[in-house]
Amino acid sequence: MRVTVFGTGYVGLVTGTCLAEVGNQVVCVDIDAAKVEGLNRGVIPIYEPGLEDMVLANHGAGRIAFTTDATSAIAHGEIIFIAVGTPPDEDGSADLQYVLAVARTIGQNLGKRAVIVNKSTVPVGTADKVRATVAAELAKRGADVPFEVVSNPEFLKEGDAVKDCMRPDRIVVGSSSPSALEAMKRLYAPFNRNHERIVAMDVRSAELTKYAANAMLATKISFMNEMANIAERVGADIEMVRHGIGSDPRIGYSFIYPGAGYGGSCFPKDVQALERTARQHGYHAQILEAVEAVNDRQKHKLFELIARHFRGELRGRTFAVWGLAFKPNTDDMREASSRTLLAQLWEAGAQVRAHDPEASEEAQRIFGERADLVLCDSAASALKGADALVVVTEWKKFLNPDFDQLKAALKHPVVFDGRNIYEPAEVEAAGLAYYGIGRGRTI
Ligand code: NAD
């Protein structure tokens, strides 16, 4: 099929590439000329396992093209995806300016029947706004072109995006048009072969499904962080509790890891946006509000542990920080807990030596040159001259360090483990002090 994708970020680029991989002719449009120019030279703007090879192969085979020319891209697609950003507005609700700008562009250029598919995470009612925007532009130029608007929220996880896209566990399609649903089924047939993954529903339910999924996952995390904070006050180990509750199949083991708070481009903004949507409809979403508040507090947790250990004397100290990305296998630092920690350490007059396997370039872009930050190219070099180690992201390469070497490298033998990846007894046996999240009495 002929597919057009607006936006070459995490969602647009991965979606376009996976659709090309199964034989479709894909044109990806972005307003970021440098990104498009890079993609045409084979420079992939994000780190995502497996993505680079797939983009290069499909680009080489002529199945995917990158352009800034929206007019030709719209002329190409029988299916046109909108996969642009929906960042938080000043009041936390989703900012639809990019989605509606694409809708205007489509309306200004559409010359033949098309299915417009919204993949961006958008508040309930946005498909109606997109439909009205396209229709208004068509009316302005007196064009009578049939089109449908479908909601097809994206559930890929950064770090696993290609895998999730090639083997989705569900494909939510919101539409009231049988012909649009048929087109979507045809497009997704290669991903839907061994069992039915398409969950068809009305547009509004599809839009809410995405927010409900992210809000549920964020709730699980904040719930566990709440339990961890109780655990450390009562002298319990949250990791024991985690195993104890996860074994109940009604609860399950996934997504119940306590830690230094969730980040990323989705959970924080989506929980906030859903809470604002509820409020706009006269409903006070108490759970969502609490999920957000618990997470905001949790992002300060590592700094609190550090400040308490060093009795507030942080000026002039140096901290080795392992992990800057908001989670492993990505270079994405949007809303990452590391950013809260670094800001607090700098505010207290401390220096940071940080290592992240993929996010150094992004950190450089965000923080620029500063005297109190050294970006190190290895975990070991981050330890040089450091007082203590703080683990913020649970990259696999940090899971099994040599604790004797760690002890020898650090001026103060102490580890702050923001993701509970170490066994306290093992760390302590090497002569290091250990702080985790909710692991026995620290308060
Ligand atoms: P992103 O910021 O990585 O990429 C968005 C891209 O859209 C940018 O390259 C930007 O230049 C481009 N863009 C903006 N306006 C444009 C226009 N008028 N025409 C063409 N391109 C334009 O965003 P993302 O992380 O890919 O997220 C996109 C949407 O998908 C958001 O709504 C997000 O909430 C949702 N989502 C993201 C993820 C994720 O893990 N990142 C997962 C599921 C859903």
pLDDT digits (tens, 9 = 90+) for 322-370: 999 999 999 999 999 999 999 999 999 999 999 999 999 999 999 999 9
Which residues are identified as catalytic? 266
Nearest-CA residue for ligand 1 atom 3 is: 9
Structure tokens that stand for 315 in this block: 């000026």
Q: What percent of the chain has pLDDT over 90?
A: 97
Nearest-CA residue for ligand 1 atom 25 is: 10
CB 74 within 8 A of CB 4: yes
Nearest-CA residue for ligand 1 atom 18 is: 102
Q: Which helix (H) or strand (E) holds 4?
A: strand 2-6
d(CA 394, CA 436): 13
> Which structural domains are found in the chain, ordered by start?
2-201 (3.40.50.720), 208-443 (3.40.50.720)
Query: Mutate which of 118, 265, 271, 362 to test ligand 1's pocket (most atoms within 8 Å of Cβ)?
Result: 265
Ligand 1 center to 11 CA (angstroms): 6
- State if residue 120 touches ligand 1 by the CB under 6 angstroms criterion: yes
- State if residue 154 touches ligand 1 by the CB under 6 angstroms criterion: yes
301 marked among binding-site residues: no
d(CA 33, CA 19): 22
Cα atoms found within 13 Å of the Cα of residue 396, Cβ hemisphere only: 3
312-328 per-position pLDDT tens digit: 999 999 999 999 999 99
Ligand 1 center to 266 CA (angstroms): 11
Which among 79, 76, 83 is positioned nearest to 14, based on CA atoms? 83
Strands 64-67 and 79-82: unpaired
CA 193 and chain centroid, separation: 28
155 marked among binding-site residues: yes
Residue 443: its pLDDT value, please?
58
Mean local confidence (pLDDT), 232-258: 96
**DSSP states of 269-329:** HHHHHHHHHHHHTT---HHHHHHHHHHHHHTTHHHHHHHHHTTT--TT-EEEEE--SSSTT
Q: What is the mean pLDDT of the chain?
A: 97
pLDDT band at residue 379 using 50, 70 and 90 as cut-offs: very high
pLDDT at 273 over 70: yes
Strands of the sheet containing 2-6, edge to edge, are: 64-67, 25-29, 2-6, 79-82, 114-118, 147-151, 171-174, 198-201
Residue 442 DSSP SS3: coil
**DSSP states of 183-206:** HHHHHHGGGSSSS--EEEE-HHHH
Count CB neighbours of 202 within 10 A.
12
In ligand 1, the atom with minimum distance to the C-alpha of 98 is 15
Query: Mutate which of 51, 154, 163 to test ligand 1's pocket (most atoms within 8 Å of Cβ)?
Result: 154
